Amino acid sequence: MIDQSQTSVLKKIKELYPQLTHMQQQLASYILEHPQDVANSSISDLIRHTDLKSEASAVKFYRLLGYETFKSFKISLAQELAGRTFYHSQTDITLDDSPAEIRRAIFLGAANCLTQNAETETAECIEAAQLLANADRIIIIGQGASAAICSHAFFRFTEIGLNCIYDPDPHMNAAVLSHSKEKDLVLCVSQSGETADLYKQIELTYRRHVPTILITGNPSSSIARLSRVVLSTVSEERHILTDALNSRIAQFCLIDALFSIISISRARDMLPRLQETRDMFTTYKL
Judge whether 216 and 191 are in contact, CB under 8 Å.
yes
Q: Say if residues 154 and 166 touch (Cβ distance below 8 Å).
A: yes
What pTM was computed for the model? Answer: 0.68
Instruction: Please check whether residue 188 is in contact with residue 230, taking contact to mean a CB–CB distance below 8 angstroms.
Output: no
pLDDT of residue 238: 47
Q: What residues contact 131, with CB distance under 8 A and at least 6 apart?
A: 185, 211, 213, 228, 229
pLDDT digits (tens, 9 = 90+) for 126-170: 999 999 999 999 999 999 889 999 999 999 999 999 999 999 999
Looking at residue 2, its pLDDT comes to 38
- In whole angstroms, give the CA distance from residue 276 to residue 37: 53
pLDDT attached to residue 57: 84
pLDDT in tens, 110-123: 888 888 888 877 89
CA distance 124 to 257: 12
Distances (CA, A) of 285 to 155, 156, 272, 280, 282: 18, 19, 21, 10, 5
The mean predicted confidence, pLDDT, of the chain is: 86
Residue 160 confidence (pLDDT): 93
Domain architecture of the chain: domains with CATH: 4-86 (1.10.10.10), 122-282 (3.40.50.10490)
CA pair distance 109, 119, nearest whole angstrom: 16
What pLDDT sits at residue 84?
Answer: 55
DSSP 65: T
Low-confidence ranges of the chain (pLDDT < 70): 1-7, 82-92, 94-95, 236-244
Q: In this prediction, what percent of the chain has a pLDDT beyond 90?
A: 45
- CA dihedral for 98, 100, 104, 106, sign (positive or negative): positive
